[in-house]
Amino acid sequence: MKKLNLFLVLLLSASLVFTGCDSLNNTAKGSIIGTGAGAAVGAGIGGLIGKDGKSAAVGAAIGGVVGATAGAIIGKKMDKAAAEAAAVENAKVETIEDVNGLKAVKVTFESGILFDFNKTALKTDAKAALTKFAKVLVENPTMDIAVYGHTDNVGTLAANQKVSLGRANTVADYLVAQGATRTQMKVVEGRDYSMPVATNETAEGRAQNRRVEVYMYASEKMIQDAQKEASN
């Protein structure tokens, strides 16, 4: 019974966080998540990210609470990175939470923009966009990066897995070639068609499912730097 009550409390708290913070920017949200109960709720929410088929759980749990000021510092940096990424052509930018309850940035590129059908070689226009996006990563060397390739459900699972992984590797390799560090690339995976964001029953839905997602989130060093800055 106690476990059930705790679950209901966390569920209600999570609902309040999401509905009550929509109008806040990342700096303000970071401050809220960084406070006692907010951090605990954030940690619970972090475990749910990725189970809706729309986002991947990103970040390595640091095993401690990030203070309000440190959370705000990280949130401000994520605000800036999100704004810069949003200026890149064809980049769809969203803010999410990592597993530590801190602000993170999710950037989605539709595969139809990056690649020809069933191919893993970048189009010329795609290279121009990714070159601009790489500059955002270069300016934020303490942000960790995760790259995921996704497909629709046309064809076999094996074929889609090969294509999704190939595209994720292509994007990661190109970003590194443009200045991002290889050590930033913590995850590069192909997710085939296991995490659709739209129905595969329509051409429009399948187009949305064919995508590459790049996540920018706070590394352990970025968190440590923020905590040091907050203590000064």
- DSSP helix/strand/coil, 101: coil
Has this prediction a pTM greater than 0.85?
Answer: no
Cα separation, 147 vs 134, whole angstroms:
13
CA-nearest of 28, 69, 36, 30 to 225 is 69
Angle in degrees, CA 61, 226, 175, rounded to 5: 70
- DSSP helix/strand/coil, 197: coil
pLDDT tens sequence for the chain (232 residues):
444 444 443 444 444 333 444 434 443 333 333 333 333 333 333 333 343 445 567 877 776 778 889 999 999 999 999 999 999 999 999 999 999 899 999 999 998 889 988 889 999 989 999 999 999 999 999 999 999 999 999 999 999 999 999 999 999 999 999 999 999 999 999 999 999 999 999 999 999 999 999 999 999 999 999 999 999 8
Nearby residues of 41 by Cβ (< 8 Å), 6 or more positions away: 10, 13, 14, 17, 33, 101
Single-letter amino acid code for the residue at 98: D
Contact present, 115 and 122 (Cβ < 8 Å): yes
Exposure class string for 57-88: b at 16+ Cβ within 10 A, else e:
bbbeeeeebbbbbbbbbbbbbbbbbbebbeeb
